[in-house]
Amino acid sequence: MTKWLEDWFGSEYYSLLYKHRDCDEAKLFLDNLFAFLKIPSGSSVLDCGCGKGRHSIYLNEKGFEVTGIDISEKSILEAKRSEKENLTFYVHDMRNLFRINYYDLALNLFTSFGYFEKDHENDKSIKATASAIKKHGWFVLDFMNAEKEIRELIPQEKCQTGEITFDIKRCTDQNFIIKEITVSDKGKTYSYRERVKKYNRNDLEKFFSQNKLEVVNIFGDYNLAPFKKETSERLILIGRKI
């Protein structure tokens, strides 16, 4: 079941399609977040679903001890090129335990959650992450605002990056928001799928509470504005381990 995750997120086309993601915006979010939580320099951070490590690398440059984990071997191979003191990367399925009571803060950023088929599998990833942080440590889950995404869903679009064409079709079923991606590159065609569970605020709060995480704040964007179901771009939960 996880093969599509490894194939898509580890592919060069994933990076190309999402290259518009603003690195400055991501850094601003992390700066805002760490200032708000008053995380002292030198604290230990677990970056779940770290991809090729750009956020882990930035946090390490800011003086934090960072571990990045991701299910994609290809992504971790690239991330490992940046390893140094206090910055390490591992191929790891976030549903499985990874260290116990070790980190001051755990991050799951940019909708790196909700990809597994069953609710109990997604719950396992919350449980494993909660187990990795110390008592009173922080867990930040940055998810899409699924209700807004569904209302504003674009059924089909085409994107061009150089000579590579992406044909993207979006739909929903009972449980998922689904994206079918067809890539045309040098006369060859490749097909990928991306799908994310349609979790709302209540769903995520339930995951937190059943894993002994107290929801302290809920934000709706990377400037840490309050969450509003109708208009917020993001659904960002700040939890503290009880």
**d(Cα 9, Cα 15) in Å, to the nearest integer?**
8
> Cβ atoms within 10 A of the Cβ of 123, count?
16
**d(Cα 223, Cα 127) in Å, to the nearest integer?**
27
Q: What is this structure's pTM? A: 0.93
DSSP 121-171: HHHHHHHHHHHHEEEEEEEEEEEE-HHHHHHT---EEEEEETTEEEEEEEE
Q: Which residues contact 178 (CB under 8 A, 6 or more apart)?
A: 170, 171, 172, 193, 194, 195
Residue 114's nearest CA partner among 20, 207, 186 is 207
Q: With cut-offs at 50, 70 and 90, classify the pLDDT of residue 9.
A: confident
In the chain, residues under CATH classification 3.40.50.150 are: 3-145+199-241
Q: CATH code for 3-145+199-241?
A: 3.40.50.150
Q: What is the pLDDT of residues 132-142, one digit of tens each?
A: 999 999 999 99
Say yes or no to pLDDT of 1 above 60.
no
> Of the spans 12-16, 22-26, 113-117, 197-201, which averages the highest pLDDT?
197-201
What pLDDT is attached to residue 2?
60
Say yes or no to pLDDT of 17 above 90.
no
Say yes or no to pLDDT of 5 above 80.
no
Identity (one letter) of the amino acid at 196? V
